A and B are shown apart, each in its own frame.
Chain A
Amino acid sequence: MSVELIAYGCFFLTVALTYAIMCLGLNLQWGQTGLFNVGIAGFVAIGAYVSALLTTPDTAGRLGGFGLPMAVGWLGGALAAALVSYLVGRLTIRLRADYLAIATFGIAAAVQLCALNLEPVTGGPFGIGFIPRPFAAEAGNPLLFSLLNLALLVIVVLLLYLGLERLVRSPWGRVLRAIREDETAALALGKSATRFRLQAFAIGGGIMGLAGAAQAHFIGFIAPENYLPMLTFQVWAMLIVGGSGNNRGAILGAVLVWGIWAVSAALIAAVFDPAQQARAASLQIAIIGVAICAVLLLRPQGILGEIRTISRHLPSRAGKAQTAESRPE
């Protein structure tokens, strides 16, 4: 096997793993807690921009960069995204379930707008370049460089996975599931149910921010168009395919869907002439949409499904949660 092929494989997997991190964050919010986030791209962007600001060298005409170590950037990105998640959750979690969805949708639009227009901070439409890359010293050796990067991402994903699994099995995780599955239990917990949901939402948002930071440093360049609603749709497709509620499913789904995405994009590029490519690409998104609906209708538990608990969110027992049809008292 040629070196290029292995390097490309590493590159592909590394990008896929950054998506896997986002997916893990979403799984904590939706899979474990039942909180619907339609603004993933916004939280990822916050992580990416904050980390870029913190770690890039001082740039004329732009705030920062502060040239701080990469780890500080990643941590800062995650914390900033967690803080924004906390504020959005604080505002909406006590209200109707779908107000959170609308608010996150709005946050993503607002972040996008800020990234475009706050030129002195974000670089505007041109974005931020020269973001330090991990193991830059080894860049001369493509194989080693890509292997090291992949290893770093594997370690991050593994640590997150183990941490989340612990969290899910802890009393805290059990309370989350109880709240998600049984509205009566949630009501009995009252204010603290809101607090648990809020914690899960903020941690999930922080993980998405971390993913944004990791991705920014791996690619070395960010711009507003990296964080369009499309990104949100892709991450949702990954979690749904992998199976919400299941952390291993979240990782598997990310790799699988990213693979399908890359292959189909390559196929489109090969089959259609350039004028028609954008058009054909819209079919890719249509398929994500159909997949979301089909999974909700046919296989709500995804490919791997949730371990331990039976299907929730859907029929019978979930009827105890807020249902679309008001239930006779």
Chain B
Amino acid sequence: MNAAAPPPALATRALVAGYERDLPIVRGVDFEVAPAELVVILGPNGAGKSTLVKAIAGLVPIHAGQAFLAGADITASPVQEKVRHGLAFVPQTENIFATLTIQDNLQLAADILPRSEQAARIAEVYELFPDLAARRSACAGNLSGGQRQMLAVARALIVKPSVLILDEPSAGLSPKIVGEVFSRLKEINTAGITIVLVEQNVKAALAIAHRAVILVEGELRHDGPAATLADDPIVAQLYLGATPAGREEQR
């Protein structure tokens, strides 16, 4: 690494992770994301994409290797600490608190900020998501799929993260809503937030990403600009026949 260059926003070194020690799902992944980059992680079902981002977020045990956030080692920090360091994660399913109101979902995320900044930050996020602002005292469980996804993203943005990781934000959404969610993500990225996206929806993801990596059997197999990857035979080879809406790693 060049000493003068800024450290990558997010990086892993030989990361090995999985629910059980003797059954690693991610097997030695070296992975870097530059500041303000939008990277998509692709790969067939069961390749370990979700496990990789969950391990970085602290939800799956890391057995070997390291994870860095802006150069700082976050391998051992517990899940609730990572968000304080600027790493926000949006899980694939159950990514909002359905029994809490929209306001409480956001307030919960804001609780880790200094008290004086909380209200202003929530107001800023409501400006980004006027649909949510209109229904702030509604129970989050009553939202539609697309609105839930927006709330999950809004909730993640509350803490002004430097890196935002999303696990299949398009899962279960109609194509029209997927378009809305992705264009929203592009805006957020353009504003300077680094985004890492795990996706099965290859086309939509490559359309907004700068770079794509492909994970196969827990190892990184390909890394290149998103624009060229869209026409790459390797993608066709990996995805032809694969169901784009399939879910991975069902346990």
A contact residues vs B (CB 8 Å cutoff): 184, 316-317, 319-320, 328-329
Contact = CB atoms under 8 A, between A and B. Distances in A.
A317 B20 CA distance: 8
B92 A329 contact: yes
Contacts of B59: 328
A329 B19 contact: no
Interface of B: 19-20, 54, 59-60, 91-94, 251
A329 B20 contact: no
Given A319-B19, A328-B60, A329-B93, 11 more contacts: A184-B251, A316-B20, A317-B20, A319-B20, A320-B251, A328-B54, A328-B59, A328-B91, A329-B91, A329-B92, A329-B94
Contacts of B91: 328-329
A45 B54 CA distance: 52
Contacts, number: 14
14 contacts: A184-B251, A316-B20, A317-B20, A319-B19, A319-B20, A320-B251, A328-B54, A328-B59, A328-B60, A328-B91, A329-B91, A329-B92, A329-B93, A329-B94
Contacts of B94: 329
A320 B20 CA distance: 11
Nearest to B23: A316
A316 B91 CA distance: 23
Nearest to A183: B251
B69 to A, nearest CB: 19
A327 to B, nearest CB: 8
Contacts of A319: 19-20
A30 B195 CA distance: 49
Nearest to B247: A329
Nearest to A319: B19
Contacts of A320: 251
A317 B60 CA distance: 15
A319 B60 CA distance: 13
A262 B92 CA distance: 58
A317 B155 CA distance: 34
A320 B92 CA distance: 20
A317 B23 CA distance: 11
B237 to A, nearest CB: 30
A312 to B, nearest CB: 14
A258 B54 CA distance: 51
A329 B54 CA distance: 10
A185 to B, nearest CB: 12
Contacts of B19: 319
A319 B251 CA distance: 11
Contacts of B251: 184, 320
What are the 5 tightest A-B residue pairs by CB atom distance, in nearest-first order? A328-B59, A329-B93, A316-B20, A328-B54, A329-B94
Contacts of A328: 54, 59-60, 91
B209 to A, nearest CB: 25
A149 B11 CA distance: 75
B49 to A, nearest CB: 14
A311 to B, nearest CB: 15
Nearest to B94: A329
